[in-house]
Homo-oligomer: A and B are copies of this chain.
């Protein structure tokens, strides 16, 4: 059994990792950290796990993590992972980071978007962007994987085939994301009035307009697929659901193309993928159909009136948008079947 630990397990992303790792057949969960909850029983913070774990939260100590685990998931705020990862790597431990710290290849992007220089350039150099649909081979060789942000996961999977196939024009890409509350800033179970039930319930709003930090991550990956730099106009939204992230991308196309043809391109691109389901013409993705799982449901519709394609995807922001995708990365890194520990169907309704 491979020993696995979770650093930063007090937030929703950490909680989802625990839910899935608890029953992953190839690993043993050997440590969880949270500075805030250090010393407390895991099941005190997570009553749903009563009876399923004897662990207690340890404080965030990378040396300790390296001593108890072979692989460490980091569900920490950005700027925190880059402090812990070098220590883990020095001890030869593998790391799967769910923060933003190792997602951007250009160190300058951290200065621009996160207002601070990166302090682990060596780690940044070896890190692989953790989306198996794009980088499966590199992930299989990697010791450090940066799992995508939830919005980028949805946006990239919704549009990647268009960019790879050269069907997308690179100017005028507009992406609109709608995230449930566990994704949109409340990952740390942070106590902010915006996330109160009475404020988020029966409410929809945009935030981070023209400035959300997931933007460069989307541009990096789509640009690499297209073979040229591009910019996207990205707007995230908070919608009233616990889990779920829906992406609507409007992509100008290079030539007249039918929905049928576009779907063929998508099916070819995602052929054999265990977690991407390309829908049939006339079917519509819904977050309802993927919640609790690592699936991404996608479709695309041609809009000849505007010479654009409407590309949509539905994921669970804690699933393909984070924790479950992180476990897919673990499976790829360790050469296990990619569905190991991720077999449970989505929870409906």
A residues near B (Cβ < 8 Å) are 12, 15, 19, 22-23, 46-52, 172, 174, 176, 178, 180-182, 186, 189, 191-193, 195-207, 209-210, 231-233, 235, 237, 239-244, 246, 248, 250, 252, 277, 279, 283-293, 295, 297, 301-303, 305-306, 308, 310, 312, 314, 343-349
- Whether A239 lies near B240 (C-beta < 8 A) is yes
Contact status of A240 and B241, CB under 8 A, knowing A12-B198, A182-B349, A210-B301: yes
- Copies of the polypeptide in the assembly: 4
Chain B nearest CB, measured from A348 CB (Å): 4
- Whether A12 lies near B349 (C-beta < 8 A) is yes
Could you say which residues of chain B place their CB within 8 Å of the CB of A182?
A: 198, 349
Could you say which residues of chain B place their CB within 8 Å of the CB of A51?
A: 277
Complexed CA–CA distance, A308 and B250 (Å) = 14
Contact status of A241 and B204, CB under 8 A, knowing A48-B346, A349-B198: yes
Complexed CA–CA distance, A232 and B195 (Å) = 33
Could you say which residues of chain B place their CB within 8 Å of the CB of A197?
A: 181, 186, 195-197, 199-201, 240, 242
- Whether A209 lies near B301 (C-beta < 8 A) is yes
